[in-house]
Amino acid sequence: MTAVPILLGHQTAARLRANLDTVALGLPAVLIVAALGWRLLGATGAVVAAVLGLAALAAASVWRARRYDRRWLIGALDARIPRFEDSTALLFRERSSVSGLTALQRDRLESRVHEAAAVDLRPGWSGRPIAIAWGAAVLLIAAILLWPASNGADTKSAAAARPATAANPPVLTGARLRIIPPAYTGLPVREQTALDARVPEGSRVEWLIDFAPQPSTAGLEFPEDTPLSLIRDGTRWTGARIVDRPVLYRIEAAGLAQQRLNRLDAVADAEPVVRLVDPESQLVQLTPGQTTWTPVFEASDDYGVIETGTLKITVTKGDGENITFEQRTMPLRGQGAAKRMRFSTTLNLAREGMAAGSDLIVQLVVTDNRNPERHTVEGPSVILRWPANLEMAEGLDGMAMRVMPAYFASQRQIIINAEALIARRRTLAGDPFIDASNVIGEEQAALRLRYGQFMGEEAEGGGSGGGIILPTSDAPPAPALPTADAPAPARPAAHDDHDHEGEDHADETAPGGTMGSEVDVLHEFGHAHDDRDVATLFEPRTRGALARALDAMWASERELRQGRPEAALPHAHQALELLKEAQQATRIFLRRVGSDLPPVDFSRRLTGEREGIVARDPERPERPTADAVAADAWRALEERPGASSAPLALGALDAWVRQNGGRIPDPLALRAAIDTVRNEPACLDCRRRLRALLWTALQRPAPAPGRRDAPGQRGQRYLDALR
């Protein structure tokens, strides 16, 4: 640890510079406060003000120096000294606690510690702000000390202290809000002159209100809560309340004119958000030879999350109904800022009990610093899957292929992939090029089998895309086919055009798979000679086009599997054109079915009874409109010429807002607008605002079909004749 004292010297120097800079900036303010105390309260006031100012200055100095901690020192040294190779943190670790490459790197850094002695990490002086602060302090102190004594302040205080009378009612001369957020938010205390505010949920709001002349009583009225009485302190009235939900309030005093409602919105603390950083997807598969796994999560919150999180680990074993679960939890410590922190750990798969066919599921649980009730959030679950068929033969590690779900590629996509592979021939040669061509061939085989089901072909066992092509040592550059001792198997011949007369259809089972349900439907309703041959569902021209398309697909697949995508492209293009031709000509012949009419009721024939024959329109029930009160008020507030001057039913409208507050976008704003119009009926802007808010609160009517226009004389005669 011989290098640590040298490095810590930079930290001490940086903190000392920060302390001196803070003192140079804040000392003028302390002198100004001491001068004010001396002018107002004498020597005692000056001493008290100076002591309090120095204490505040010391606290600010300590707070500014806190940022120069060991983390800052490590980051500064890594940034200023490139030869430390971003490994300065190793110098602060015990020599016995590191080994291997880490110990070697630490020894290398110790030999370069002398380079850190010449680096100056102290922050710069705030020269311009210091000069401005001292210049302003000299001017203000001179003005305070030389300002002549005056009795105006005493006269004003006496006038403010005089009680209000009927002839001289009180007037609101000043009002301030002091907002103290909860400690867990870390937000500073702030003051504002506006009486409307948005504060964090659980904040303490203090009112500082001035009247002239002074009323006998004052308070705050909350329409839906207990009123708050203000306490007089000299010439100022104060009161405080914890705001945990949105509220409306009004300042009241004896003899004071009616004030408008003000609003306090309580902003709820949002829950933390956990995001998966690595891996990118929530389901990943084990790679051959992988022994460890490092998932990375990121947790963010508006005020910060607790540094310690919990990682839930679940390991599943078995298959089918014999699946067992092993669950455990482990603590994780996050890194980074409190508002955005990362959590990661490295899991040993063998220690966790992973085996073939197992799943390792991890989930991060974090908690924010909300007080008293914290928010606990579970992040997304991430699954590491070890497929049961990942076992590989000896010597084939580099040629193993992952077993993934089968997704069919279109013929056009196969052509695009082949052209892209041809363009990469210069950079991708040899076995990688052949493997990529073989993959495209597997996609061509899957598409061929999918269309072959409609032509009556049997599916190949396991799909043609499941094999691995291995080149032989004595083979030419192109790889051999899946069977080295036999030529390429011929594609099963598709049924081409044939005569319907005298056909002898074999009693074969229709191919299953994903197309089974569609085949069953077509067999039930299609024009098939029997219930098994799906090839006869298409007209002869369509069957011929499909058969030629399958031949072209087979030729394209053969060339692709041998690593010759250039030779496969003509066959692939031909298959695409034939598929387009088949799609345009496809027709399915359906059986003719007779009309299913209701049976005739012979008992009513020739009786002349017409009951129940002609339907009558039911009478529409009169339903009261839920927003009738709001709609009437909206119409009454209209300003166009000739508009009805009906009186506003503000009481009923306020009751409607209370009853429907759950679906109104902003019920507090609407109630405040109603109260303002009630107290100030001549305020035109207030009426316009109320009308605009009512428009947003009205429920939109459901669209209804319009009634048909009344017919003319000729049309009426036609309808009468029909009746």
The structure's pTM equals 0.44
Cβ proximity of 325 and 315 under 8 Å: yes
Q: Measuring CA to CA, which residue among 421, 712, 379 is closest to residue 564?
A: 421
CB atoms inside a 10 Å sphere around CB 173: 12
**DSSP string over 199-248:** EETTEEEEEEEEEESB-S-EEEE-TTS--EE-EEETTEEEEEEEE-S-EE
Q: Measuring CA to CA, which residue among 515, 462, 459 is closest to residue 492?
A: 459
Please say if the pLDDT value at position 539 is more than 70.
no
Residue by residue, what is the 3-state secondary structure of 115-179? HHHHCCCCCCCCHHHHHHHHHHHHHHHHHHHHCCCCCHHHHHHHHHHCECCCCCCCEEEEEEEEE
CB atoms inside a 10 Å sphere around CB 549: 26
Q: What is the pLDDT of residue 323?
A: 74
Structure tokens at 25: 């900036």
Name beta bridge partners: 237. 209, 232
Q: What is the pLDDT of residue 322?
A: 67
Kind and range of the H or E run holding 488: none
CA distance linking residue 106 with residue 95, whole number of Å: 8
Structure tokens at 489: 């198997």
Task: Summarize pLDDT for 55-64 with one digit per residue, the tens.
Answer: 888 888 888 8
Average pLDDT over residues 635-639: 81
Q: Which residue has the tokens 């429907």?
A: 660
Q: Which residue has the tokens 């943190």?
A: 89
Per-residue pLDDT band at 585 (split at 50, 70, 90) = low
| CA dist 117 → 9, 184, 325, 470 (Å) | 9, 40, 57, 63
Name beta bridge partners: 329. 312
Q: Measuring CA to CA, which residue among 28, 38, 117 is closest to residue 77?
A: 117
Please say if the pLDDT value at position 133 is more than 50.
yes
Cβ proximity of 380 and 362 under 8 Å: no
Cβ proximity of 244 and 206 under 8 Å: no
CA 512, distance to chain mean position in Å, is: 42
Name beta bridge partners: 312. 329, 363
Q: Which of 432-436, 512-516, 522-526, 541-545 has the lowest mean pLDDT?
A: 512-516
Q: What is the mean pLDDT of the chain?
A: 76
Q: Which of 184-188, 283-287, 539-543 has the lowest mean pLDDT?
A: 539-543
505-512 contact pairs (CB < 8 A, 24+): 505/529, 505/530, 505/532, 505/533, 507/532, 508/456, 508/532, 508/533, 510/456, 510/534, 511/453, 511/456, 511/457, 511/458, 511/459, 512/459
For the chain, give the longest Cα–Cα distance. 128
| b/e 555-590 (16+ beta carbons within 10 angstroms → b) | bbbbbbbbbbbeebbebbbbbbebbebbeeeeeeee
Cβ proximity of 230 and 237 under 8 Å: yes
Average pLDDT over residues 9-25: 82
Kind and range of the H or E run holding 262: strand 262-267
| Exposed/middle/buried for residue 273 (C-beta within 10 Å: 0-12, 13-18, 19+) | middle
Q: Which of 99-113, 330-344, 415-429 has the lowest mean pLDDT?
A: 99-113
CA distance linking residue 146 with residue 372, whole number of Å: 53
Kind and range of the H or E run holding 198: strand 197-200
Q: What is the pLDDT of residue 552?
A: 92
Q: Which residue has the tokens 């051999």?
A: 480
Q: What is the pLDDT of residue 519?
A: 41
Dihedral sign computed on CA atoms, order 444, 447, 449, 454:
negative
Q: What is the pLDDT of residue 515?
A: 38
Task: Summarize pLDDT for 476-510 with one digit per residue, the tens.
Answer: 344 433 333 334 444 444 344 444 433 343 333 33
Average pLDDT over residues 333-359: 88
CA distance linking residue 649 with residue 51, whole number of Å: 61
CA distance linking residue 665 with residue 661, whole number of Å: 8
Which of 62-71, 466-475, 699-708 is modeled with the greatest confidence? 62-71
Structure tokens at 247: 């509220």
Please say if the pLDDT value at position 440 is more than 60.
yes
Q: Measuring CA to CA, which residue among 121, 133, 47 is closest to residue 84?
A: 121
469-477 contact pairs (CB < 8 A, 24+): 469/434, 469/438, 469/561, 470/399, 471/431, 471/434, 477/563
**Residues contacting 4, CB < 8 A, separation 6+:** 91, 92
Q: What is the pLDDT of residue 401?
A: 41
Q: What is the pLDDT of residue 424?
A: 85
Q: What is the pLDDT of residue 553?
A: 92
Average pLDDT over residues 690-699: 87
Name beta bridge partners: 384. 284, 360
Q: What is the pLDDT of residue 149?
A: 54
Q: Which residue has the tokens 């974090």?
A: 366
Cβ proximity of 157 and 235 under 8 Å: yes
Q: What is the pLDDT of residue 404?
A: 36
Structure tokens at 556: 């394209």
Please say if the pLDDT value at position 125 is more than 90.
no
